[in-house]
Each structure stands twice: as C-alpha cells, then as structure tokens.
A and B are shown apart, each in its own frame.
Chain A
Amino acid sequence: MRVYEELFIIKPDAPEEEADQFIEQMRSVVTTSGGTVDKVDKWGKRRLAYRVDKYREGAYVLVQFTSGPDVVKEFERRLRVSDLVIKFLTVRIDQTLKRLDKRKKNREKRAHRKPAPVAAAPAQLPGPPVGEPAAAE
C-alpha cells in the first residue's frame, strides 16, 4: 500500500453541490477498490499562477489516500474525463513521510541527549573572563 496525494483544480464557475458530488464520487473510487481516503481538504477558490483553459482562478481540492498503484490509474482517468477538473497533480508521499518521520525521531533523540552538555557548559564559561584581567596586567 502506498500513500498518495492528489491535488486537483475544479472550474471556478462549477456549482458547489456539483463539486461536492464529484468529490464524493472520487472518494468511492478509492474505497471500492480497497483503498482508504485519509484526508479531503478543500482550499476554496484561489488565483491561478497562469491561465488554464481560459480560467484565471480555480477551486483547489486535496485528497490524500492510501491504496495500491492501480487505483491511481483509475483516479487519474476519471479526473481526465471529468468536465469539472481543469488540472491535477498526483504525488506519492509515503517515502517522504517516512523520511520526515525518521528525521523527526532523530531530532527528538538528539534533543533528549543534549541537556547534559548544555548544563555543563555554563560552569566552564566563567573561567576565561576571570583569567583575562590577569593577562592584561
């Protein structure tokens, strides 16, 4: 099983109910073929950085799901066929998530180890300033 992130843009002039209906449809595409939808996030309308199909803005929708690779194929086919969607991007993120998790754990481990040297350092620091005036004389 892999974790994917699908970000797609729905036409700005499409009615809200129709968009919701479409998102529900996509949700069922994933679930019927054995995957699970982890997150659906509607960003709302935003300005596009460039014109896409004569549209200057669009409603972004982010869907995160866990499934096998064949689900993505079907998902993308549906997006391509749909009249509502003007652009989409699929990103596989399970490896990235794993890497981030590892880094975070490493960082926490290091944070646990650190307190000892930090506590020891201030004790040593007052040393040099005391010696300095003596050297100046």
Chain B
Amino acid sequence: MAEMKGRPGSAGQRPTGGDKAVATQKKQYFRRKKVCRFCVERIDDINYKDVKMLSSFVAERGKIVPRRISGVCAPHQRRLSDAIKKARNIALLPFAASA
C-alpha cells in the first residue's frame, strides 16, 4: 500500500512512533499523513454484518490490521475490532485463514 512506500528495508517491521519519526530521522523521505477512514467518510456505524468493509481491515491471515498501519483513530479502531470479533463468531470472517 501507499503507506508503506519509501520505507527502507527492515524499518517496515519496526513500529515507529507514528508521524513523529519523520522529523527526527536524518534520511528524509515523504510519508503521507494517514487519516482515519471512518472519520473522513463519516461512517458512524461499524457493523459486524458488513463483511465487505470489515475484510479491508483484516490481513491475509485473518488478523486485525493494527492502527499504525491502517491509520484508523482509536475510538473507531475499538469499535472496528469489536465488530470483527463478532463477525468471526458467526463465521463471517475467519479466526485464522489457512493461506
């Protein structure tokens, strides 16, 4: 995805402290500021039945995508993870995908 662009090598695995890291690092690269999709699109209802939407926040193996990658704000991530867990319970989403 575009968020991961320009990251040198192994730095992609390490959690950097959000956007603060950009200014302190010597090597400069452009990183787009991430915004919460739910805030921007004004989605109030994060529903567990909306599989299409939820699956975009689930990684290939079925894990919930962390906030630092997806850019979702804390209140929305909370509701999102709740919804994903409900969806898993009723077999709409996998607990662990056998990929």
Contact = CB atoms under 8 A, between A and B. Distances in A.
Interface in B68-90: 86, 88-90
Contacts of B92: 49
Interface stretch (A15-23, A70-78, A99-107): A99-107
B91 A48 contact: yes
Interface residues of B, number: 14
B44 A49 contact: no
Contacts of B91: 9, 48-50, 52, 58, 87
A87 B94 contact: no
Majority SS of interface residues in chain A? Answer: strand
A65 B77 CA distance: 28
Contact of B48 (A58, A87, A91): A91
Nearest to B88: A49
Interface of B: 42, 44-45, 48-49, 86, 88-95
Given A49-B93, A62-B49, 13 more contacts: A9-B90, A9-B91, A49-B91, A49-B94, A49-B95, A50-B95, A52-B91, A87-B91, A89-B89, A89-B90, A96-B45, A103-B44, A104-B44
Interface of A: 7, 9, 48-50, 52, 58, 62, 87-89, 91, 96, 100, 103-104, 107
